């Protein structure tokens, strides 16, 4: 009786907390972005990357940064996964994380990869990080507010179970669709050369602001405690797909410039 009661209380509390260890634009999202990027590399970049990664694909290495995230030896890279900014604020004038953020992380990766004096080991590490971080740059809640940890502390329900707004955007919308990363990449929207060029235009900070427009929309999309269901996926899955594609195209742009 006591045990059953405790279990009941526990499940009840869990359903409200939405406690979760995972804080990742799920593996499928990152891999799809890597795969889409691969489809837009120049032959030269493809060859150089293949050599550096010893045959591993961009899709395969895209999850590496999350694999090392909880390892204390890699603690210095934790804050590279996100950047916090007020919804109506500017990156340039907002408080910076002294440990670094998504923007400084991406810039660091590009710098190491462009540097003739970097070791192969360093280049390999920073290439894997870059593939991942370009995915994170396109997840609206990775550019969220500091006070709610990019939506991690905004409790909502996902099909009746405890979750939070960050997690819904990291993985739930995508996983409900049950598509592999290859299927997602293969079904990316057909774009003209001109459309690709428009998406690839600009720099890392411009791309962050492009995602940040969606961040505002996502914060307004759900009330605390709301039970998000099919309608939510139906409305936002197309946006998730578009973000995966933009991430892939922009990653390809950076890599084609680096490995030219």
Q: Which of 25, 77, 80, 82 binds ligand ADE (CB under 6 A)?
A: 82
Of residues 26-55, which lie at the interface with ligand ADE (CB under 6 A)? none
Give the β-pairing of 227-228 and 161-164.
unpaired
Q: For ligand ADE, which residue of 149, 153, 216, 237 counts as binding (CB under 6 A)?
A: 149
Q: Among all residues, whose Cβ is closest to Zn ion?
A: 81
Among 26, 135, 140, 144, binds ligand ADE (CB under 6 A): 144
Alpha-carbon dihedral 220, 221, 222, 228, rounded to 10 degrees:
-170
| 146 binding ligand ADE? (CB under 6 A) | yes
- To Zn ion, the closest distance from the beta carbon of 132 in angstroms equals 6
Q: Decide: is 66 part of the binding site for ligand ADE (CB under 6 A).
A: no
Report the residue number, 102 or 199, with the smaller CB distance to ligand ADE. 102
Q: How far is the CB of 150 from ligand ADE (least distance, A)?
A: 2
Contact between 136 and Zn ion (CB under 5 A)?
Answer: yes
| b/e per residue 84-109 (b: at least 16 CB within 10 A) | bbeeeeebeeeeeeeebbbbbbbbbb
Q: Which of 170, 214, 241, 247 binds Zn ion (CB under 5 A)?
A: 170
How many Å apart are CA 260 and CA 63, to the nearest integer?
Answer: 25
Residue 82 interacts with, from ligand ADE, Zn ion, none (CB under 5-8 Å by kind): ligand ADE
221 within 8 A of 164, measured Cβ to Cβ: no
Could you tell me the two tokens for 211? 């995602």
User: Alpha-carbon distance 42 to 155, whole Å?
Assistant: 43
Rounded (10°) CA dihedral 25, 46, 256, 34? -10
Q: Which is nearer to Zn ion, 45 or 105 (CB)?
A: 105
Contacts of 96 (CB under 8 A, 6+ apart): none
Nearer to ligand ADE, 140 or 162 (CB): 140
Q: 């390809």: which residue's tokens?
A: 252
Of 62, 86, 188, 68, nearest to 136 by C-alpha is: 62
Size of residue set near Zn ion by CB under 5 A: 4
Least Å distance, CB 86 to ligand ADE, is 13
First to last CA, the chain: 68
Site for Zn ion in 45-104 (CB under 5 A): 81
Partner whose binding site includes residue 136, from ligand ADE, Zn ion, none (CB under 5 to 8 Å by kind): Zn ion
The binding site for Zn ion (CB under 5 A) comprises 23, 81, 136, 170
Residues that bind ligand ADE (CB under 6 A): 23, 82, 84, 142, 144, 146, 149-150, 152
């Amino acid at each position: 009786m006591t045990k059953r009661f405790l279990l009941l209380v526990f499940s009840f509390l869990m359903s409200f907390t939405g406690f979760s260890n995972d804080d990742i634009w799920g593996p499928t999202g990152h891999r799809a972005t890597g795969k889409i990027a691969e489809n837009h590399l120049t032959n030269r970049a493809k060859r150089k990357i293949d050599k550096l990664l010893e045959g591993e694909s961009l899709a395969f290495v895209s999850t590496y940064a999350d694999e090392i995230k909880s390892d204390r030896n890699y603690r210095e890279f934790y804050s590279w996964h996100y950047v916090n900014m007020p919804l109506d604020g500017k990156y340039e004038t907002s408080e910076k994380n002294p440990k670094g953020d998504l923007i400084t992380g991406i810039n660091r990766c590009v710098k190491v990869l462009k540097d003739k004096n970097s070791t192969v080991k360093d280049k390999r590490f920073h290439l894997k990080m870059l593939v991942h971080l370009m995915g994170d740059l396109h997840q609206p809640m990775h550019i969220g507010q500091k006070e709610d940890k990019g939506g991690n502390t905004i409790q909502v329900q996902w099909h009746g179970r405890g979750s939070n707004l960050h997690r819904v955007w990291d993985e739930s919308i995508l996983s409900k669709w049950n598509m592999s990363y290859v299927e997602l990449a293969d079904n990316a929207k057909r774009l003209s050369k001109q459309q690709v060029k428009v998406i690839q235009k600009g720099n890392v900070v411009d791309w962050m602001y492009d995602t940040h427009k969606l961040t505002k929309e996502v914060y307004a999309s759900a009330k605390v405690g709301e039970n998000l269901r099919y309608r939510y996926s139906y409305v936002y899955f197309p946006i998730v797909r578009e973000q995966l594609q933009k991430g892939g195209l922009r990653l390809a742009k950076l890599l084609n410039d680096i490995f030219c």
